[in-house]
A and B are shown apart, each in its own frame.
Chain A
């Protein structure tokens, strides 16, 4: 055990985590160059494209240092705000972390919040400044930032470049010399922390864990403490580039287990794995049942593809347990699903995977957060509202609560004003303002999650020219004046465009939404009235005048091909439209709410 090191890499998106991981694997000959696909750890297409790791993985590296053989387990962590719980569990499986900071970008919000998580878990931090050979590298500034942040000595910081391989030896040495070996008792009852699971269509669910105490053997009967379920260990082993079966995995090490589980829902990240015959008395601390934060409807474009979509959602859920869905019926969109996501990025990922991996064309409706409603009749009974249609009638409502988050934004001092304007405009409360260094300010707000769901990321980016990074953690539920806004097209309510919104923002929101819809709805042969209503009260209105003519003037030899292609495209576009009353509504209109201008 004294020659095992478990570590992860904390870094902001694009700061070079995957490239550095590649170099470590190459340098230690864990992987040959031939096997080296750029960024091996990100094995979903989508991950490689987005340049972030959505699902965490782990890999074992063998390395000889001063004549002694060491086993280094690199546990990869997801790099986005929506996945902070998964990150915390991966960190809990490690004794140390490389803090990787881009030499030209400096420290970002996400890095800091993950760093805090690592410090909370008592991890040994090895600071690394990456991309030092890039133009624009500001090594002294970034050194100061790191020293200020973690209180290390400047000489503790390793200078590296994943791209050209600078500093890789130093990093390997630091991992071995500075990170403590795991402590645990191989003879104690089995206690292993589950930090991830992946779905394999041949093997079922593969569960990744870190053994804290005890030993897990092939054919053991195991139990998941929180779900209470028992399984046989069909196969256990360690994680090389491929799964490597072993007879046993002992305390301190990282491994996998295959038990024939088919559904990711049965495996909860953070759960404790133990033996049925000799169970541990103590579950690993920090387990949480992750709950979806953002909800939206997903509907098939063609109403008759509902069953096919269900099939795809089920398959998606097999390897993404954080996705939830239940059937939903919309007057406008027919049969579909109300889906729950960890956050906005998670929602985007699901949408893209449905389109790319499963070839589904779907309509996604206005996302909302999960509200709590209480009625006057039963003031203590919480009604969970994940869909505007589930909101009780206003006359029966005693109060409504909405989720708040703690938002952390790190930026340059120049943009403090813009960020204040943005966040206060989104009902944020400034909690703290803290200069991390002379050129790095951390702002902490408490904000309603609902305000993050609508266009917050884009606004933050544009009001800081990209020089802000953002992270959040769920906080609590607070009472709030939430109202339901309906959109009417020629008098017909469009349920898929209803939104739950704070009353103070309703009129302004209604006005913007109507004007955006005016842009997005194609003109038709009759006039279209677009109205926003709070109950029976119309708060905004726009009109689209009738289209009286839709015909090309000239159609001669040179025009025919171009014209045909144009009309074919129109026909395609129309397939993606929905008839609401007598109005044809294109798909983009259902997401209009996310693209409101000021």
Chain B
């Protein structure tokens, strides 16, 4: 089981919190599609022997691509990668791009899942985040997609925003539930370095997200979505039964993936590599030199252990002790069990049927727990 990720590094405008790689100039879009097509060919062997179940168009803003441009990439993918096991083909989309016409066109592409960047159903939060859409467009986009028959929808919501009260957060959760979306990814607002948000906080024009308010809103989220029938299957991800994101689940289960486009990461257990996060350099390397510009790290058994622990503990499936014993040795399991006692005692972790699983209280400290249990 493996996945392919395509990074579309363009946005109409920059959200204040975003530290992903993107450009707000669309000038190089056509060339980028050309280069992505070439990279698909260059990397055709990376996942050799793997069953490919998912393709994910992420960004940036992939909904800036026309259906025609999407099909251009699709044809390349079809040429070089087997299609028969594909289950999920996701397109990240911004609400303001999802016009009825665009949705109808998408319906004729292989895209079968939309991940819509709603973030909030309140205008003041959207303005604070410098999003390109407003609350009405958010609501409308979801309904329009559902009407078109694209009903496998995930939406993103952000909490911990200084502009948002607890009451408004509950309204946002309720709005998502009412829309009956299959999947919700909900993230705590995070101040990443070198973003407009970090700059605004540094100069005092914006407040820092409050740690305890963020924690409280996380607890509200878990509680409300649980009551509405969503499974909390990863720290920031909730799904109606069976509607887990196949693509993202791959990341947390240590499966292989190929990332295409500037800044995209690829992984095959023994190593990870990432393409250069610069559009011009990427284009030049692919188009004129025929080379993928990437850096690579070899993952030692310790790195692999640490990554397995860090990602698996985020999920409701937890870290599998038998898996750990078979891959990293019986000692690794014994040691891990001994070291995790302090967390089971605190009620942060449970061990069920050979799986170490974090409780809701433990999920609030997942980083600290993982770090303490690292080798």
- The chain A residues found within 8 Å of chain B, CB to CB, are 523, 525, 545-558, 560-561, 563-564, 567-568, 570-571, 574
Given contacts A553-B187, A553-B188, A558-B259, contact A571 B364 (CB under 8 A): no
B212 near A564 with CB under 8 A, answer no
Least Cβ–Cβ distance between B170 and chain A, in angstroms: 18
Q: Which residues of B267-288 are within 8 A (CB) of A?
A: 267, 272, 274
A561 near B265 with CB under 8 A, answer yes
Partner of A551, one of B257, B259, B364, B374: B364
Q: How far is the CA of A574 from the CA of B267 in the complex (A)?
A: 29
A553 near B374 with CB under 8 A, answer no
B307 near A564 with CB under 8 A, answer yes
Confirm or deny: B356 has a beta carbon within 8 angstroms of a beta carbon on chain A: no
* Chain A residues whose CB sits within 8 angstroms of the CB of B264 once the complex forms: 557-558
- The chain B residues found within 8 Å of chain A, CB to CB, are 5, 20, 187-190, 211-212, 214-216, 218, 235-236, 248, 251-252, 257, 259, 263-265, 267, 272, 274, 297, 303, 306-307, 310-311, 314, 363-368, 370-372, 374
Q: How far is the CA of A563 from the CA of B306 in the complex (A)?
A: 10
A571 near B365 with CB under 8 A, answer no
Extra contacts, 8 of them, besides A546-B212, A549-B218, A550-B367 (Cβ < 8 A), are A548-B214, A552-B190, A557-B5, A557-B264, A558-B259, A563-B310, A567-B306, A567-B310
Partner of B215, one of A523, A548, A553, A561: A548
Least Cβ–Cβ distance between B111 and chain A, in angstroms: 19
* Chain A residues whose CB sits within 8 angstroms of the CB of B310 once the complex forms: 555, 560, 563-564, 567
Partner of A557, one of B214, B257, B303, B366: B257
Least Cβ–Cβ distance between A595 and chain B, in angstroms: 22
Given contacts A555-B252, A557-B251, A563-B310, contact A549 B188 (CB under 8 A): yes
Given contacts A554-B236, A555-B235, A567-B310, contact A547 B211 (CB under 8 A): yes
A560 near B297 with CB under 8 A, answer no
B211 near A549 with CB under 8 A, answer yes
Q: How far is the CA of A523 from the CA of B368 in the complex (A)?
A: 12
Q: How far is the CA of A556 from the CA of B92 in the complex (A)?
A: 14
* Chain B residues whose CB sits within 8 angstroms of the CB of A560 once the complex forms: 251, 265, 267, 272, 307, 310-311
* Chain B residues whose CB sits within 8 angstroms of the CB of A557 once the complex forms: 5, 251, 257, 259, 264-265, 267
29 A-B Cβ contacts within 8 A? A548-B212, A548-B215, A548-B216, A549-B214, A550-B366, A551-B366, A552-B367, A553-B187, A553-B188, A554-B187, A554-B190, A555-B251, A555-B310, A557-B251, A557-B259, A558-B264, A558-B274, A561-B274, A563-B310, A563-B367, A564-B310, A567-B367, A567-B371, A568-B306, A568-B371, A568-B374, A570-B368, A571-B372, A574-B371
Interchain Cβ contacts within 8 Å, total number: 102
Nearest A residue to B190, CB-CB: A553
Given contacts A564-B306, A564-B310, A568-B306, contact A551 B367 (CB under 8 A): yes
* Chain A residues whose CB sits within 8 angstroms of the CB of B368 once the complex forms: 550-551, 570
A555 near B311 with CB under 8 A, answer yes
Q: How far is the CA of A557 from the CA of B58 in the complex (A)?
A: 11
B267 near A551 with CB under 8 A, answer no
Given contacts A560-B251, A571-B371, contact A555 B314 (CB under 8 A): yes
* Chain A residues whose CB sits within 8 angstroms of the CB of B189 once the complex forms: 553
Nearest B residue to A548, CB-CB: B215
* Chain B residues whose CB sits within 8 angstroms of the CB of A563 once the complex forms: 310, 367
Q: How far is the CA of A551 from the CA of B374 in the complex (A)?
A: 15
Nearest A residue to B266, CB-CB: A557
Least Cβ–Cβ distance between B78 and chain A, in angstroms: 22
A551 near B365 with CB under 8 A, answer yes
B212 near A545 with CB under 8 A, answer yes
B297 near A561 with CB under 8 A, answer yes
B364 near A567 with CB under 8 A, answer no
Least Cβ–Cβ distance between B156 and chain A, in angstroms: 10
Least Cβ–Cβ distance between A523 and chain B, in angstroms: 8
Least Cβ–Cβ distance between B207 and chain A, in angstroms: 15
Nearest B residue to A568, CB-CB: B374
* Chain A residues whose CB sits within 8 angstroms of the CB of B365 once the complex forms: 525, 549-551
Q: How far is the CA of A554 from the CA of B263 in the complex (A)?
A: 16
Nearest B residue to A547, CB-CB: B211
* Chain A residues whose CB sits within 8 angstroms of the CB of B188 once the complex forms: 549, 551, 553
Nearest A residue to B363, CB-CB: A551
Partner of A558, one of B235, B265, B306, B372: B265
A549 near B364 with CB under 8 A, answer yes
Q: How far is the CA of A475 from the CA of B20 in the complex (A)?
A: 63
Least Cβ–Cβ distance between A462 and chain B, in angstroms: 23
* Chain A residues whose CB sits within 8 angstroms of the CB of B371 once the complex forms: 567-568, 570-571, 574
* Chain A residues whose CB sits within 8 angstroms of the CB of B5 once the complex forms: 557
Partner of A550, one of B236, B267, B274, B364: B364
Q: How far is the CA of A560 from the CA of B269 in the complex (A)?
A: 12
Q: How far is the CA of A564 from the CA of B370 in the complex (A)?
A: 9
A561 near B272 with CB under 8 A, answer yes
Given contacts A561-B297, A564-B303, contact A548 B251 (CB under 8 A): no
Partner of A549, one of B215, B251, B314: B215
* Chain A residues whose CB sits within 8 angstroms of the CB of B367 once the complex forms: 550-552, 563, 567, 570
Q: How far is the CA of A125 from the CA of B366 in the complex (A)?
A: 70
* Chain B residues whose CB sits within 8 angstroms of the CB of A567 once the complex forms: 306, 310, 367, 370-371, 374
Least Cβ–Cβ distance between B370 and chain A, in angstroms: 6
Most buried by B among A523, A549, A556, A560: A549
Least Cβ–Cβ distance between A528 and chain B, in angstroms: 14
Nearest A residue to B248, CB-CB: A556
Q: How far is the CA of A189 from the CA of B269 in the complex (A)?
A: 80
Nearest A residue to B277, CB-CB: A558
Nearest B residue to A567, CB-CB: B371
Q: Which 5 A-B pairs have the closest CB atoms?
A: A548-B215, A553-B187, A567-B371, A549-B215, A551-B366
* Chain B residues whose CB sits within 8 angstroms of the CB of A545 once the complex forms: 211-212
Nearest A residue to B273, CB-CB: A561
* Chain B residues whose CB sits within 8 angstroms of the CB of A550 once the complex forms: 364-368
Q: How far is the CA of A552 from the CA of B19 in the complex (A)?
A: 14
Q: How far is the CA of A552 from the CA of B214 in the complex (A)?
A: 12
A558 near B307 with CB under 8 A, answer no
Q: How far is the CA of A558 from the CA of B274 in the complex (A)?
A: 8
Q: How far is the CA of A574 from the CA of B310 in the complex (A)?
A: 17
Most buried by B among A551, A564, A570, A571: A551
Q: How far is the CA of A545 from the CA of B368 in the complex (A)?
A: 17
* Chain A residues whose CB sits within 8 angstroms of the CB of B235 once the complex forms: 551-553, 555
Nearest B residue to A556, CB-CB: B251
Least Cβ–Cβ distance between B260 and chain A, in angstroms: 11
Q: How far is the CA of A546 from the CA of B213 in the complex (A)?
A: 12
Q: How far is the CA of A43 from the CA of B214 in the complex (A)?
A: 57
Nearest A residue to B364, CB-CB: A549
Nearest A residue to B274, CB-CB: A558
* Chain A residues whose CB sits within 8 angstroms of the CB of B370 once the complex forms: 567
* Chain A residues whose CB sits within 8 angstroms of the CB of B236 once the complex forms: 553-555
Nearest A residue to B20, CB-CB: A558
* Chain B residues whose CB sits within 8 angstroms of the CB of A546 once the complex forms: 212
* Chain A residues whose CB sits within 8 angstroms of the CB of B259 once the complex forms: 557-558
Q: How far is the CA of A553 from the CA of B17 in the complex (A)?
A: 12
Least Cβ–Cβ distance between B257 and chain A, in angstroms: 6
* Chain B residues whose CB sits within 8 angstroms of the CB of A525 once the complex forms: 365
Least Cβ–Cβ distance between A167 and chain B, in angstroms: 53
* Chain A residues whose CB sits within 8 angstroms of the CB of B267 once the complex forms: 557, 560
Q: How far is the CA of A549 from the CA of B363 in the complex (A)?
A: 9
* Chain A residues whose CB sits within 8 angstroms of the CB of B363 once the complex forms: 551
* Chain A residues whose CB sits within 8 angstroms of the CB of B372 once the complex forms: 571, 574
A558 near B263 with CB under 8 A, answer yes
Q: How far is the CA of A560 from the CA of B5 in the complex (A)?
A: 15
Q: How far is the CA of A98 from the CA of B211 in the complex (A)?
A: 64
Partner of B211, one of A548, A553, A570: A548
Q: How far is the CA of A549 from the CA of B366 in the complex (A)?
A: 9
Q: How far is the CA of A563 from the CA of B190 in the complex (A)?
A: 14
